Amino acid sequence: MIKHTYWNHKGTFQSAAKALNELIPAEGSVANPRSKNKKLEKFRKACNCYHDLYNNGLCNRAQEFRQVFGFGASRYKYAFGRFYTTAYLRTEEQMDAIVAAAALEQGIELVEDYPQEKLETV
């Protein structure tokens, strides 16, 4: 497993992700998801898919995961709902890009809270 992830609250841009999460409604899309808050809406969808990857092994959102993250994690699955480390590494890299884009859109400062350390595995 990867040492530093958003799942264990140690993502590269964890403080920005936390600030973005505070802008997400309890349910449904964000306001103006196709214009002013396009990147924030992608972040919301990515968070839902990310949770499904770590919590349910993509049992519920495999197709949406492919659309949001740009690759199908299912091809990295090996057994018992677990995935090869490559799937998690790719997911973390994409999550970093999604968080960075949404933070820029929302005017949130982007600080590397856990830079590159997440590539270390435990």
Mean per-residue pLDDT for 14-25? 97
According to the model, what pLDDT value does residue 81 have? 61
Q: Is residue 40 part of a domain?
A: yes
According to the model, what pLDDT value does residue 11 have? 95
* pTM summary value: 0.89
Domain holding 110, by residue range, is 14-22+35-119
Residue 118 pLDDT greater than 80, yes or no:
no
Taking alpha carbons only, the member of 42, 49, 39, 68 closest to residue 7 is 49
Note the pLDDT tens digit of each residue in 20-30. Answer: 999 999 999 99
According to the model, what pLDDT value does residue 73 have? 82
| Residue 76 CB contacts under 8 Å (≥ 6 apart), including other chains | 83, 84, 86, 87, 90
**Domains of the chain: total:** 1
To the nearest whole number, what is the mean pLDDT of the chain? 90
Q: Is residue 7 part of a domain?
A: no
Residue 116 pLDDT greater than 80, yes or no:
no
Q: Is residue 8 part of a domain?
A: no
Q: Is residue 79 part of a domain?
A: yes
Number of H helices, E strands in the chain: 4, 2
According to the model, what pLDDT value does residue 1 have? 63
According to the model, what pLDDT value does residue 119 have? 52
